[in-house]
Amino acid sequence: MSDFLIPNASVIIVSFNTKNVLRDCLHSLYAASLVKLVEVIVVDNASHDGSADMIEAEFPNVRLLRSTTNLGFAAANNLAFKIATGRYFVLLNPDAQLEVDALQKSLLFMTMTPRAGLAGGRLLSPEGEEQPSARQFPSLLNELIVISGLAARYPHSRFFGRFDRTWANTQEPATVDWVPGAYAIIRREALDQIGYFDERFFLYYEEVDLCRRIKEAGWEIWYRPEIVIRHIGGESSKTVEKTEFSSSGSQLVLWRMRSALLYYRKHHGWLAAWLLNKLETSWHSLRMIKARITGKSSSAERKVQESHRLVALMRQAWGETQGGSSSPHRPW
């Protein structure tokens, strides 16, 4: 196939019960410039809200892959990677919308920066509020800073705000450790070199692992503020029933804990995974004891119950992943 027939980019969207926001996402994508140079692939993870039927009826140009089971984020993207024809793979969450020129600017940057293996943009809420768009790799120190509340208390400190880079000027581009999977553009050559997503990560940490492997292979990870994406966040997670959520309401805690243990065991060994387990369980145990000592109010009782649940969830995650060495059977 001659070069001019190959799309510059393959935009890949993984959907799970996101019919309405997915429609908005696709409209924003087709409103973007250079759309004729792009193929759009949607992997539907066994949605039961009519998402796949909506795509077939309203977006006939989309390449739709229907999965009969929920594959998770990593495996669903890998399914699309295998059939994608673009020079670049663009990951786009269904609850995200591109600014009109975001795709064009992404392709221009990757073309002009040959050592860039992956790049992300500036994530904003629908109301225009900043969202974490570039982060530092997880470490036990970073976990302690975040779980202790010091990161939230001192967001402008280069030390305490290190994990989410809350100290940084969001208008300045930078090479970073990793960017969220809500939006990312990936060079095909980088994936050909390091491989696809690790499918042991059903949800969370898969993009962290991928960025780490890309950097270790000598490529650069970039944050580019001129690429703007409006992102709601957590829409698929909200459809999962009977699962413990974090206080933000957008992160499934048990799944996050499983993936964290898998990540630490893979990249830092058994001891680091065990220390992460002990860090979280010890912190929440101490928080539970403090709440019991300091008062009998309804607020204190809620803290006790929350900490008790979090300790139980981490112990469950540790057992289900065999100390971070194996992934539970999909779907989680």
β-strands 183-187, 116-124 pairing: antiparallel
Report the mean per-residue pLDDT for the chain: 91
- The answer to whether position 246 is within a domain reads yes
User: Is the predicted pLDDT of residue 36 greater than 60, yes or no?
Assistant: yes
Tell me which of 238, 254, 289 is where a domain ends: 238
Nearest to 171 by CA among 118, 130, 207: 130
Tell me the CA distances in angstroms from 229 to 86, 206, 316, one per residue in order: 21, 20, 36
Q: Is 276 helix (H, G, I), strand (E, B) or coil?
A: helix
Q: Each residue of 100-123: b (16+ CB within 10 Å) or e?
A: eebbbbbbebbeeeeebbbbbbbb
User: Is the predicted pLDDT of residue 16 greater than 90, yes or no?
Assistant: yes
User: Is the predicted pLDDT of residue 1 greater than 50, yes or no?
Assistant: no
Q: How far apart are CA 161 and CA 16, in angstroms?
A: 32
Residue type for position 34: L
Residue 98 bridge partners (DSSP): 229
Q: How far apart are CA 90 and CA 163, in angstroms?
A: 24
CATH code, 176 = 3.90.550.10
Q: pLDDT of 176-235, one tens digit each? A: 999 999 999 999 999 999 999 999 999 999 999 999 999 999 999 999 999 999 999 755
Q: Work out the average pLDDT over 69-98.
A: 96
Q: Could you tell me what percent of the chain has a pLDDT over 90?
A: 80
Q: pLDDT of 101-121, one tens digit each? A: 999 999 999 999 999 999 999
Residue type for position 92: L
Q: pLDDT of 243-292, one tens digit each? A: 444 443 335 899 999 999 999 999 999 999 999 999 999 999 998 888 88
Q: pLDDT of 58-80, one tens digit each? A: 999 999 999 999 999 999 999 99
Q: Could you tell me what percent of the chain has a pLDDT over 70?
A: 91
Q: Cβ–Cβ contacts within 10 Å for residue 2, how many? A: 5
Q: How far apart are CA 324 and CA 77, in angstroms?
A: 23
Same domain membership, residue 255 and residue 181? no
Tell me which of 223, 238, 253 is where a domain ends: 238
Tell me which of 180, 206, 238 is where a domain ends: 238
Write down the pLDDT at residue 50: 94
Q: Considering only 64-73, 289-298, 307-316, which range has the smallest mean pLDDT?
A: 289-298
Same domain membership, residue 194 and residue 46? yes
Q: Each residue of 25-47: b (16+ CB within 10 Å) or e?
A: bbebbeebeeeebbbbbbbbbeb
Q: How far apart are CA 292 and CA 286, in angstroms?
A: 10
- The answer to whether position 152 is within a domain reads no
Between 246 and 47, the more confident residue is: 47
- The answer to whether position 149 is within a domain reads no
User: Is the predicted pLDDT of residue 299 greater than 60, yes or no?
Assistant: yes
Same domain membership, residue 222 and residue 249? no
User: Is the predicted pLDDT of residue 239 greater than 70, yes or no?
Assistant: no
Assign 8 a pLDDT band (cuts: 50, 70, 90): confident
Same domain membership, residue 258 and residue 119? no
Write down the pLDDT at residue 99: 92
Write down the pLDDT at residue 234: 54
Number of domains in the chain: 2
Q: How far apart are CA 77 and CA 221, in angstroms?
A: 19
- DSSP helix, strand, coil percent of the chain (3-state; round to 5): 45, 20, 40
Residue 224: give the domain boundaries: 3-133+170-238
Write down the pLDDT at residue 286: 93
Write down the pLDDT at residue 197: 98
Q: DSSP letters of 212-256?
A: HHHHHTT-EEEEEEEEEEEE---TTGGG--S-PBPTTSSSBHHHH
- The answer to whether position 86 is within a domain reads yes
Same domain membership, residue 267 and residue 123? no
Which residues in the chain belong to E strands, given as ranges?
A: 9-15, 38-45, 63-67, 88-92, 96-98, 116-124, 174-175, 183-187, 220-231
Write down the pLDDT at residue 248: 39
β-strands 88-92, 9-15 pairing: parallel
Cβ–Cβ under 8 Å, residues 71 and 203: no
